[in-house]
Structure 1
């Protein structure tokens, strides 16, 4: 189902479509979405590699203003119109997109982007350390696990594992402390972005990649990893974690 559109042309159109809902939220919401979705390779790779379930209930913890949700909905809409790169797998068509975000300002930006009665998207204010995850098919945490202490990290991961069915998927991205200078650059950028979003700078609880893998395996996940920094000098690693079938 494709009109043989080139990958670059497709990504430009997808970026335009995915960021358009944030125009109503003000200049910051719109430009933040464009910078995040257009400059961060993980969003492209989620689609190119076909990592997400085709259907089901998706839960994004630390979802911000819901940029990932707009990206997925816009991708599906383009696919159904026949605008899809040759060779890319079918994009997901989620039954539910639920986001949990600690910062009320981001929740308000999401409400302006999606409205309050969206048939699929729901973004709520909450703390992932306390929120009931329910039963879901996919959980994502992108660049947020390091905001709370190690005991809290393990508790959240155990509750994620319990919320997923056999074969369920947890996707996260972490900073690899053992990477040295690239990690410190990533850490500095994290602080700058957090400050720009209007939040105070947090204390970070990062780990070496080997420790993240050990923790996730101890919780019960099967784990694979891949670099997810793109061409930037960062230490970002995507962890693909599955509940054994």
Structure 2
């Protein structure tokens, strides 16, 4: 296992003149949710606009050229909408030259525990005719199709340590040659930020009408060690810019011998 840290600091280097492109992406990715109700649209605008992970994925191009994507804990399908918006911006000739080209999406599978979120995703994104399907299922039992990229943002701590390891093993088995996992976690070693993120998580979960479950955290180093034991090479980057949290993005690639 080789583990490294991406560029120091909490933000990637910004390409000059890209703010306008990002705001256009935000507009395009949020627009479909107007048809799914006021809550869906405001949530899309707020989450995409304020959570640093989405702009970071676009600017860093960490999703590579993945054509087949599995999004575990997909919520109302924001990642699918963002990927579609990237494609339309590129086709319109407005894609910044300093950004890596977005993937040409061929298959997207979103897995989400909450049926209401799945319903919002389907209602909002159906008019786009995306190559996407949304599944209301527990991530511990949901079938994982063959894929190039798996994205798990802020949900793996909702299952216990044994189930975390089991799911990540299934992710490894579903990933195809040169497959990649993007996993955002809370670093339990950063005690203050981790505590704040857990507190906010519980409040938001309760406000949305969901049961507040127990959580099982790990330190960043423990997550990296677990992924290494499963055959991944891992890089990490802070992913809490503009927030008081302790979030870290782990970019995990399969060893060539296992892909």
2:186 is the counterpart of 1:175 = yes
Q: Which runs of 5+ in 1 are unaligned?
A: none
2:108 is the counterpart of 1:83 = no
In 2, are the aligned partners of 1:166 and 1:244 still within 8 Å (CA)?
A: no
In 2, are the aligned partners of 1:5 and 1:86 still within 8 Å (CA)?
A: no
Q: Closer, same or farther in 2 for the Cα pair 1:116/1:155, shift >3 Å? A: farther
User: In structure 2, which of residues 230, 250, 256 is the aligned counterpart of residue 219 of structure 1?
Assistant: 230
TM-score, length of structure 1 as denominator length: 0.95
Structure 1 residue 82: Cα displacement: 0.8
In 2, are the aligned partners of 1:59 and 1:139 still within 8 Å (CA)?
A: yes
Of stretches 204-213 and 114-123 in structure 1, the one that deviates more from structure 2 is 114-123
In structure 2, how many angstroms separate the alpha carbons of the residues matched to 1:198 and 1:28? 13
Number of positions where the alignment pairs a residue of Structure 1 with one of Structure 2: 242
Q: Which runs of 5+ in 2 are unaligned?
A: 1-14
Match of 1:239 in 2: 250
TM-score, length of structure 2 as denominator length: 0.90
In structure 1, how many angstroms separate the alpha carbons of the residues matched to 2:73 and 2:166? 16
Match of 1:6 in 2: 17
RCO greater where, 1 or 2, for CA within 8 Å and sep 6 or more?
2
Structure 1 residue 92: Cα displacement: 1.2
In structure 2, how many angstroms separate the alpha carbons of the residues matched to 1:167 and 1:55? 10
Match of 1:73 in 2: 84
In structure 1, how many angstroms separate the alpha carbons of the residues matched to 2:165 and 2:134? 24
SS at structure 2 position matched to 1:191: helix
In structure 2, how many angstroms separate the alpha carbons of the residues matched to 1:65 and 1:102? 11
Show the 5 A alignment for 1:94-105: 94-105=105-116
SS at structure 2 position matched to 1:168: strand
In structure 2, how many angstroms separate the alpha carbons of the residues matched to 1:106 and 1:184? 26
Structure 1 residue 97: Cα displacement: 1.1
In 2, are the aligned partners of 1:174 and 1:237 still within 8 Å (CA)?
A: yes
Match of 2:6 in 1: none
User: In structure 1, which of residues 190, 197, 206 is the aligned counterpart of residue 208 of structure 2?
Assistant: 197
